[in-house]
Amino acid sequence: MGVLWLAAAFFVTALLYASVGFGGGSTYSALLALAGFDYRMLPVLSLCCNLAVVSGSSIRFARARVTPWRGALLLTGIAAPAALLGGLTPIGERSFFVLLGVSLVLAGLALLLPRSETDEHPGRLARFMPWIAAPLGYVAGLVGIGGGIFLAPLLHIARWDGARSIAATASLFILVNSLFGLVGQLLKNGPERLGEAVAYGLPMMVAVVVGGQIGSLLALKFFGPRIIRWMTAALTLWVGGRLLLG
Calpha distance 225→232 (Å, rounded): 10
Q: What is the C-alpha separation between 21 and 152, in angstroms, rounded?
A: 9
Q: Average pLDDT in the 195-206 region?
A: 86
Work out the burial of residue 4: count CB atoms within 10 Å of its CB; fewer than 13 is exposed, 13-18 middle, 19 or more buried.
exposed
Mean pLDDT of 197-220: 81
**Predicted confidence band of residue 121 (pLDDT cuts 50, 70, 90):** low
Spatial distance between the Cα atoms of 21 and 39, rounded to a whole number of angstroms: 26
How many C-beta atoms lie closer than 10 Å to residue 13's C-beta?
A: 31
Cα radius of gyration rounded to whole Å, the chain: 16
Instruction: Give the pLDDT of residue 221.
Output: 61
Residue-averaged pLDDT of the chain: 83
Judge whether residue 83 has pLDDT over 90.
Answer: yes
Helix (H) or strand (E) holding 30: helix 25-34
27 compared with 219, residue with greater pLDDT: 27
Residue 180: is its pLDDT beyond 60?
A: yes
**Rounded distance between C-alpha atoms, residue 137 and residue 134, angstroms:** 5
Alpha-carbon distance values, 34 to 64, 101, 158, 244 (Å): 38, 11, 35, 11
* Dihedral sign, Cα of residue 39, residue 45, residue 49, residue 55: positive
- Spatial CA neighbour of 51 closest among 205, 204, 193: 205
Percent share of the chain, pLDDT over 90: 24
At residue 228, the pLDDT reads: 66
Supply the pLDDT for residue 116: 55
Supply the pTM of this predicted model: 0.84
